[in-house]
A and B are shown apart, each in its own frame.
Chain A
């Protein structure tokens, strides 16, 4: 019984307020599509998407939110709108202090402490993710 129940819940078809999620997803894709042709519009749409998510308390994956700059809301695409590099600011240059930096064209940096090993975002952890 329990297994059946799990399966039923995993297919995520009967999500309440599905329209909010659909709107966020639509805005994300539209913003991605317009990133090069109309950068300002794309940023506006991404901002809109963020606000819709906050207002309706719709949770989205960190992996989705990471792809948008926190300052200028532009889509982070390597080679086009962002540069990335590994830096180590420690004196001893110990590998544990390696930091991966994603730098947006607006200058905002997003830093990932890469040297500390694999970090699994909450929705992907064992026991949380259902497949």
Chain B
């Protein structure tokens, strides 16, 4: 999983380092660039800070039995059965994403469900968005939770948790660096948590896949998302140009003189 590294400062545009590079003259130019017409940033549903705090408390209470079980001795483990909640959650990137993808395949009719392995589906997804670096890891979750939803009424709820929550969740679960937890439908003891999430957090909306769940799509074209970026371009040396001009003139005069001869 993503390491707990201090967040790197955003990279700057590379600058010339060697003397030779510095000598080259460059001018600033503005170049147009085409962005993705679909906005990716606003797809995460908003969570109010107070609600996020209470959700986090709920999660800690729910998950702590598993952490305690994992930390206990082998002898204790033989006597006590594993907490039941383990069967109802997915944690970690690979497990959760795979479960969601299978679910998406079944719900969208791409993959056929095996009747023997009809499993309850993931309905609630908790992600420590601000603790997981780089952002590329979490960038696809809104779309994935949208495609994995059963219908437009019962969607997978996506909840982003505030900074610092990954530490608390991984401690409660007893697994290092766990920032992603998916809850299955009908998880025992989590009814209050689900209720809190359902009443306070909006569904994920992915406007460009609108027809997927409802079946009817009104296609709207978005104007091209053009913007300018500031880059540099080399400055052409005027001396060289003059030289070229002279050469051209010379060759012209030669041609003329030849024609005169003839």
Please report A residues at the B interface, Cβ cutoff 8 Å.
Answer: 9-10, 12, 15-16, 18, 21-22, 24-26, 28-29, 32-33, 36, 58-61, 63-64, 67, 77-80, 83-86, 95-96, 98, 100, 112, 114-115, 117-120, 122-123, 125-130
B134 touches A118 (CB 8 A): yes
Q: Is B36 an interface residue (CB 8 A)?
A: yes
Residues of B within 8 A of A58 (CB): 34
Residues of A within 8 A of B221 (CB): 26, 29
Task: List 13 other contacts, CB 8 Å, given A15-B228, A118-B10, A129-B229.
Answer: A9-B228, A24-B34, A24-B224, A29-B221, A36-B108, A63-B40, A64-B35, A114-B2, A114-B134, A115-B3, A117-B133, A117-B134, A125-B11
Residues of B within 8 A of A80 (CB): 104, 108, 110, 147
Please report B residues at the A interface, Cβ cutoff 8 Å.
Answer: 1-3, 5, 7-8, 10-13, 30-38, 40, 93-94, 97-98, 100-101, 103-105, 108, 110, 133-137, 140, 143-144, 147-148, 208-209, 212, 217, 219, 221-231
A95 touches B3 (CB 8 A): yes
B1 touches A86 (CB 8 A): yes
Task: Tell me how far the C-beta of B221 lies from the nearest C-beta in chain A, rounded to whole angstroms.
Answer: 6
Residues of A within 8 A of B2 (CB): 95, 98, 114-115
Residues of B within 8 A of A64 (CB): 34-36
A85 touches B97 (CB 8 A): yes
Bound: A35/B8 CA distance, A: 37
Number of interchain pairs (Cβ within 8 Å): 156
Residues of A within 8 A of B7 (CB): 118
Give the nearest-CB partner of B144 in chain A: A78
Residues of A within 8 A of B38 (CB): 32
A79 touches B12 (CB 8 A): no
Q: List 20 A-B contacts (CB under 8 A).
A: A10-B228, A25-B224, A29-B208, A29-B221, A29-B222, A59-B33, A63-B40, A79-B143, A79-B148, A84-B140, A86-B137, A98-B2, A114-B134, A117-B133, A118-B11, A122-B229, A126-B11, A128-B230, A129-B229, A130-B230
Looking at A79, A83, A117, A123, which has the most chain B CB atoms within 10 Å of its CB?
A79
Residues of A within 8 A of B212 (CB): 36
Given contacts A22-B224, A59-B33, contact A78 B230 (CB under 8 A): no
Given contacts A84-B97, A85-B97, contact A12 B32 (CB under 8 A): yes
